[in-house]
Structure 1
């Protein structure tokens, strides 16, 4: 297995099997857990200025890294549960985004594609 995402999915599946957790890993539950972890990630930035959010101290940076890892782990488990090739979906979505947000129209602004 060469794909690191597929290897991570397999490792996560083995981790869950060893603990008999598959029974809890429905797509609904995994999506819910993903949302909770994304909120925990956001909590680290709550009340920070833009500048502060760009310059985290080492402890905060490590805490953020672990929350990001939690988000990734649940996302990979969800993609596995739904048999979705996450890398393929991401690549296809980037093509769609490139069409929605042409560089010449999007450069330097944050408008949504429907506002062009």
Structure 2
């Protein structure tokens, strides 16, 4: 990436390409199978959860700067493995996320779920069953 990366200027393609180059330069494609990458995402997600495990909801909102840096690293690991999985499977993440968001809009209509945190099945009309 030629410019300094940040969320406002960096594309998913640039990130996916950066991850692909990193993996290729180390000859790690052989290890980056969907099975291994999905397991790595789960492992990193567990490491992320450790940072919040014993915090109150309020304390989790304002981590100390050192903790926030560590949280960022765990989140970056999850994103990197996710990008590598998308590369391995040939997924277009922008299309995949957009399709999932459209599905979420249907599953969680704002007028029915606003301010509520139930699973989508809780909102289904039981009279239609």
Short-chain TM bin: over 0.9
Question: C-alpha root-mean-square deviation of aligned residues, in Å?
Answer: 1.4
For normalisation by structure 2, the TM-score amounts to 0.84
**Aligned equivalents of 1:3 and 1:57: distance in 2?**
27
Matched length: 115
Q: CA deviation at 1:115?
A: 1.1
- Identify which of 47, 52, 63 aligns with 2:59: 52
Does residue 77 in structure 1 map to residue 116 in structure 2? no
Q: Which runs of 5+ in 1 are unaligned?
A: none
Q: Which runs of 5+ in 2 are unaligned?
A: 1-8, 124-129
Does residue 95 in structure 1 map to residue 78 in structure 2? no
> Displaced runs of 4+ in structure 1, greater than 2 A?
none
The structure with more radius of gyration: 2
Q: CA deviation at 1:87?
A: 1.3
**Aligned equivalents of 1:108 and 1:12: distance in 2?**
37
